[in-house]
Amino acid sequence: MKQLVENFTLQLQEALDIAGKASLNKKANIQHIVITGLGGSGIGGTIMTELAAHECPYPVIINKDYFLPEFIGPHSLVIVSSYSGNTEETISAMQQAIDKKAQIICVTSGGRILDLAKQHGFDHIIIPGGNPPRSCIGYSLIQLIKIFQFNGFVKSDLLADASAAIALLNREEKAIQADALILAKTLHRKIPVIYSLGSCEGVAVRFRQQVNENSKMLCWHHTFPEMNHNELVGWAEPHENMAVVTFRTTYDYKRTVKRYDVCKPIFEKQAATVTDIMAKGSSRLEQFLYHIHLGDWASCYMADLKGVDATEVDVITRLKNELANF
């Protein structure tokens, strides 16, 4: 897993090369966009919805279930994201999109989803397979960006931002690893409580998932300002086994920042530690990728500190095997 994390910028560059060669048809009469995918395949969709929210004139939602919303129809664009191509929930959702005559684009390395895409003549982008899906967010996210940019759903040149992010991460690699190790030691034997200040909830979700899978730890995430209306009350008493982590960007809204400034002393009093991580980069995508890379490293270092294999996910494999017999 460490090698895969270390090669993240190589993956991003390869993903950009794949996107540059992708053959797509522009979609017409689109009224809404649904990205359907789960786990390591779905997190790129979560982040894409945040990137698109500031520019896309159409509603964009991420679907992480067997079922699509009832409103799906011929004016829907359904982007099917499954790294393996065999995710059963995503196959189910794709079949519903076919039945409802939605417009469909697939991002996958193969499997049943690629077979269906070829059978029905759907646009599809093939990405390299063979690795844990959570280690391949660069492949899927860049293809989603390609789809949005190609169809004019976003105005910013996010592909150029991705190139800039590669340069940024390469320059900052040693510092990122050093900061990630400090974070890992801070979170060791603690329950991480991960917060976003509203501008990058997808990053917080990503770190939670990596802590779960790589570090074999439970944790949770929440976001400002929503947590001010519920979870904040839970900090009325000490939680010495919990460590707060916040992912910050220069896009954090000023009133949300003020909310955090008021809450931070409460966390400092009641939690074991509070760690603020400020992203580097000049664009939203650069800052997101900076946070993702740092968080990925931290999750691997946390696995080292626990003495566990960051790659192993036997419990998920066991679940899939049981479902295969159901």
Convert the pLDDT of each residue in 296-310 to its tens digit: 999 999 999 999 999
What mean pLDDT value characterizes the chain? 96
Residue ranges for the chain with pLDDT beneath 50: none
3-state SS string for 148-194: HHHCCCCCCCHHHHHHHHHHHHHHHHHHHHHHHHHHHHHHCCCEEEE
| C-alpha span between 89 and 35 (Å, rounded) | 13
| C-alpha span between 198 and 207 (Å, rounded) | 15
Q: What is the pLDDT of residue 321?
A: 85
| C-alpha span between 170 and 18 (Å, rounded) | 20
Q: Catalytic: which of 54, 185, 269, 320?
A: 320
Q: What is the pLDDT of residue 134?
A: 92
Q: What is the pLDDT of residue 18?
A: 98
* Superfamily of segment(s) 2-156: Glucose-6-phosphate isomerase like protein; domain 1 (3.40.50.10490)
The closest of 313, 322, 315 to 135, measured between CA atoms, is 313
Query: Are 38 and 87 a contacting pair, CB within 8 Å?
Result: yes
| Helix residue spans in the chain (DSSP H) | 2-6, 8-21, 39-53, 88-99, 111-120, 137-150, 158-187, 201-213, 254-270, 284-306, 314-324
Going by their DSSP bridges, the two strands 220-223 and 103-108 should be labelled as unpaired
Q: Catalytic: which of 174, 229, 237, 322?
A: 229
Domain chopping of the chain, boundaries: 2-156, 161-306
Q: What is the pLDDT of residue 316?
A: 86
Q: What is the pLDDT of residue 212?
A: 97
| C-alpha span between 8 and 12 (Å, rounded) | 6
User: Tokens in use for 52?
Assistant: 């698109």
Q: What is the pLDDT of residue 147?
A: 98
The closest of 213, 218, 194 to 205, measured between CA atoms, is 194
Query: Where does residue 85 fall: left (phi above 0), alpha (psi -120 to 50 degrees), or beta otherwise?
Result: left
Clarify whether 32 is annotated catalytic: no
Q: Which residue has the tokens 């730890």?
A: 217
- How many other CB atoms are found less than 10 A from the CB of residue 190? 20
Q: Catalytic: which of 50, 201, 213, 286?
A: 213
Say yes or no: do domains 2-156 and 161-306 share a fold.
Answer: yes
Query: Are 166 and 9 a contacting pair, CB within 8 Å?
Result: yes
* Superfamily of segment(s) 161-306: Glucose-6-phosphate isomerase like protein; domain 1 (3.40.50.10490)
Clarify whether 229 is annotated catalytic: yes
Q: What is the pLDDT of residue 235?
A: 98
| C-alpha span between 107 and 192 (Å, rounded) | 32
Question: What is the rounded radius of gyration, in angstroms, for the C-alpha atoms of the chain?
Answer: 20
Clarify whether 213 is annotated catalytic: yes
Q: What is the pLDDT of residue 319?
A: 85
Q: What is the pLDDT of residue 153?
A: 97
Q: What is the pLDDT of residue 322?
A: 86
Sign of the Cα torsion 116, 121, 127, 133 reads: negative
